[in-house]
Amino acid sequence: MKHTAHVSSADGTRIGYEVSGAGPGLVIVSGALLSGGDYRRLAALLSESFTVYSIDRRGRGASGPQGDAYSMAKEGEDLVAVLRQSGARFVFGHSYGGLVTLQTALQPQTRRLLDKIAVFEPAVSIDGSLPTWFVPAFDQAVAEGRLARALALLTKGLQVAGPLDKLPLPPITAVSSVLLATVGRPYRKTLPTVTAELAAARGLDGQADAYAGIAAHTLLLAGERSPAYMREGARTLADTIPVARLTSLPGLNHGAPQQAPKPIAAELRAFFTNSAPDPDSKTMKAYQ
């Protein structure tokens, strides 16, 4: 049975989330553009073993606005509010949600709330690894309401659309326009939130050892077909976080948690239940 709930974050912002399944609590933190509902297929698979809490991060879905004083700290407060209300001790974060998860796990006052965390290609910038060339033009396009151009710049800049990334910007913009008028209509609301999120991610750029303070047992997942900077970032984090494992998933790309949730769910289930990892996965650093 699924139901919705909400909690007030530290600044009073309403944070909504969807609850499904039964068992130990597992919170899903979405990537940029996405909301908790975009992970329903993954949540359904995980709900066989866990009580899953799929968050609508601020600025989307059932949650309140991002707010003028948006920061990574506020994202952390939102996650902590859900953890405290739900009692969940496991977190899975995808892309920007992975960065939120890692940053929250770093905070001394929240470490006691987390036992294990898993992230799929977190949007961590290590020594300038996150592409930023497109950001000024993206911010301008959002400010002007040219959302198809903004989505095209984001897609091409972050290299998350496979072969489409290699096309010139005009055809990507045309595809983006169709997407925003059809299945991608919710992105019209979430695209403006990406401006502040990109700024937050860029502001956290630094050396990998900034993440050496994470105490939670950590699983890092990366798709074999994802951009090199995402795969390398995950590998570097796995070498830095004290108790971590990196698993490369054959045939998957950055959108796997939505598009191909079965192998993601299998890895998460194995990790969070302490069972052996999938023997077909490529484990780069053994879980300790």
- Does residue 45 sit within a domain? yes
Domain annotation covers residue 158: yes
* Cβ atoms within 10 Å of 133's Cβ, excluding its own: 10
For residues 43 and 163, state if they share a domain: no
Point out the domain boundary residue: 175, 202, 229: 202
> 264-267, long-range: CB within 8 Å, 24+ apart, which pairs?
264/42, 264/120, 264/221, 265/42, 265/45, 265/46, 267/118, 267/219, 267/221
**Token pair for 66:** 């991002």
The pLDDT of residue 277: 43
Looking at every residue in the chain, the average pLDDT score rounds to 94
Q: Are residues 14 and 111 in the same domain?
A: yes
120 and 78, same domain (yes or no): yes
Q: In what order do the strands lie in the sheet with 51-55?
A: 3-8, 14-21, 51-55, 25-29, 90-94, 116-120, 217-223, 244-249, 282-283
Query: Over the chain (288 residues), what is each successive 10-residue block's mean pLDDT?
Result: 94 98 98 96 98 97 96 98 98 98 95 96 97 98 98 96 89 97 96 98 97 97 96 97 97 96 97 64 36
Same domain, 277 and 235: yes
Which of 202, 219, 237 is the last residue in one of the domains?
A: 202
Per-residue confidence (pLDDT) for residue 93, from 0 to 100: 98
Short-list 257, 273, 287, CA closest to 40 = 257
3-state secondary structure 72-87: HHHHHHHHHHHHHHHC
Query: Are residues 212 and 194 part of one domain?
Result: no
- What is the residue range of 262's domain? 3-125+207-283
Question: How many distinct structural domains can be found in the chain?
Answer: 2
Residue 288 lies in a domain: no
Say whether both 51 and 170 belong to one domain.
no
- Look at residue 236 and tell me if it is in a domain: yes
Please report, for the domain that includes residue 35, its CATH number.
3.40.50.1820
Domain boundary among the residues 202, 228, 260 is at 202
* Triad 49, 261, 173: Cα angle to 5°: 150
Q: Give the pLDDT confidence score for residue 288 in this predicted structure.
A: 31
Is 43 within a domain?
Answer: yes
**Does residue 195 share a domain with residue 76?**
no
Task: Give domain status of residue 130, yes or no.
Answer: no
Task: Tally the C-alpha atoms within 13 A of residue 142's C-alpha that lie toward its C-beta.
Answer: 20
Count of Cβ atoms closer than 10 Å to residue 236 Cβ: 20
31 and 121: one domain?
A: yes
